[in-house]
Structure 1
């Protein structure tokens, strides 16, 4: 099936909504219909994109004219920040996923975007501000200044102003069975992995599974939370399912070979990071040192920095990150797109 923007019919009332090229923020969603009943798997990164998606779905499937149920597969904004357009529906997420949604609200992202754009407009003065902030120990501001070109490049097409954080109205732990008309739908919590409360959505009778960001196809996965062993187990669970259609969180529709490649990547990065951790390498040095030739065709290779950092935290027993902002500065450096925080 061609990887094109829009709605792809998977058969018997199941659809995938795809957003090429699947990189930062360009996620997929899903629609499950039976009779007059409908379930939406994830919303999109902003209300403009979500409105476009809903209009496309309503043109294709009469049941989508009034969405009954929404499932947010996890807390990242590109999978839930369009919730306000379907707020009349029952919105479901895992308990941990719902709790995580408040940690990085859309208002914060809007502010980060504004600061990044402001520092770029300030030119050398903005660059100097980052250097001074670093010297004074104001690391968050220094990181924003350094990451500004990268942040604008990857998130500049999205509109974060005016987004209201609409949280789930129902939560669950482990698993939840639903009915969409007469169609059985199984929600399975497989996190913490990519985030704290990842969920996959399985439609057994139609042999379809929507995987959220357990699957990035054609791009490097990003391990915000871990442990990686949970993510590997989630891939193994999908591989064991009797399914024909596998919808990733990002990238084109895939098959079990695609799932296996993601699992192999995670195992490889885990083992390579462990070797370098034991050798006393720092996070950034280790990320640069890990050979990614087998994954050279995959996009977003800068995510290896976050993956190594998460693994090092796992190996050492360190606590969770206080902020994701420094991660973007590190990824910008890795990608050669940072704004060096030193005076010119």
Structure 2
């Protein structure tokens, strides 16, 4: 396992490459990355609100000499707000995302999240759960900026003399997940294809795509792997995420075939070796997504009901 402490802050992982880590890696506490070379810079993801992103950018300015106005490119690995709600603080940056992520970003803008949180106290156990997991973030203070450049498949950008390859591996966690690969420095920023020491949450699927995305990371033979949540990891950490995905697919399939409901299956599955991972209640979303996959159901998930079930499981 790479020797980087899982403590809040910026860590140089290579020649001009940095990981910005946010413990505890649970809901909303995402990581980001910075790639610099020859006076140019690329930011991999921003954070869940503007305040957190400002703090990160100030730390990057002090430690790496790269201020918000110096960043030329932002790559959003996917559409979830904890990876893009600070984009607008980098006023001069081109924002790149996959076409699927760009479309998904418009589905739940920050004002909608702010409205939900304002009503949370009146929503019973589900509202208390939302306050528990999202109460630390200020969705009234964001800096949204939508992608100015989109792509499908693969796309490469230059940062000084460094080639940065963007590899679309979604739909998996979300509709348009992207890996950011710096081959010359044997580094991959994975977005939420990897949750390390935390439970993966599969909003989109299919599960085979996510398993294949893990294989893709391993095949790149990186020395440093920066996950979307959790500590910096290595190939063994990637395989553990795969193990969870295989496990949950197998367990959900057995219960689907036996006719159990999503709720009953989520309560029935025993997590065993994965029970120590944070946010284990996300099994509710994973079972729901897998059930819809097994049934060939392409309708969107009932997010409100799923947060209610996660609250119940928690």
Tell me which interval the TM-score lies in, with the shorter structure as reference length: over 0.9
2:221 and 2:302 map into 1 onto residues whose CA distance is 39
1:199 aligns with 2:178: yes
Match of 2:213 in 1: 234
Residues 121-200 of structure 1 mapped to structure 2, 5 A cutoff: 144-200=123-179
Judge conservation of contact 2:186–2:221 (CA < 8 Å) in 1.
yes
- The one of 51, 61, 78 equivalent to 2:64 is 61
Judge conservation of contact 2:171–2:205 (CA < 8 Å) in 1.
yes
1:189 and 1:78 map into 2 onto residues whose CA distance is 19
Residues 99-118 of structure 1 mapped to structure 2, 5 A cutoff: 99-117=103-121
Q: Indicate how the Cα distance of structure 1 residues 321 and 309 shifts in structure 2: closer, same or farther if over 3 A, else same.
A: same
Instruction: Return the offset for 1:323.
Output: 4.3
1:270 and 1:322 map into 2 onto residues whose CA distance is 17
Instruction: Return the offset for 1:84.
Output: 1.4
Q: Indicate how the Cα distance of structure 1 residues 198 and 96 shifts in structure 2: closer, same or farther if over 3 A, else same.
A: same
1:165 and 1:333 map into 2 onto residues whose CA distance is 32
- Structure 1 stretches of 4+ with a deviation exceeding 3 A read none
1:321 aligns with 2:272: no
Judge conservation of contact 1:75–1:101 (CA < 8 Å) in 2.
yes
1:47 aligns with 2:50: yes
1:286 aligns with 2:265: yes
1:248 aligns with 2:227: yes
Larger mean CA deviation between 65-74 and 144-153 belongs to 144-153
Judge conservation of contact 2:47–2:82 (CA < 8 Å) in 1.
yes
Judge conservation of contact 1:204–1:242 (CA < 8 Å) in 2.
no
Where do 5+ consecutive residues of structure 1 fail to align? 120-143, 336-344
**Structure of greater Rg:** 1
Instruction: Return the offset for 1:222.
Output: 0.2
2:83 and 2:305 map into 1 onto residues whose CA distance is 22
Instruction: Return the offset for 1:64.
Output: 4.2
Match of 2:33 in 1: 30
Report the TM-score, using the length of structure 1 for normalisation: 0.88
CA-based RMSD of the aligned residues comes to 1.1
The C-alpha deviation readout for 1:197-246, integer Å capped at 9, x for no partner, is 00010000001000000000011000000001000000011111121100
Where do 5+ consecutive residues of structure 2 fail to align? none
Could you say what secondary structure the match of 1:31 adopts? strand
1:211 and 1:28 map into 2 onto residues whose CA distance is 10
2:130 and 2:229 map into 1 onto residues whose CA distance is 19
1:309 aligns with 2:288: yes
Match of 1:342 in 2: none
Judge conservation of contact 1:313–1:319 (CA < 8 Å) in 2.
yes
1:213 aligns with 2:187: no
1:322 and 1:206 map into 2 onto residues whose CA distance is 39
1:17 aligns with 2:20: yes
2:273 and 2:245 map into 1 onto residues whose CA distance is 13
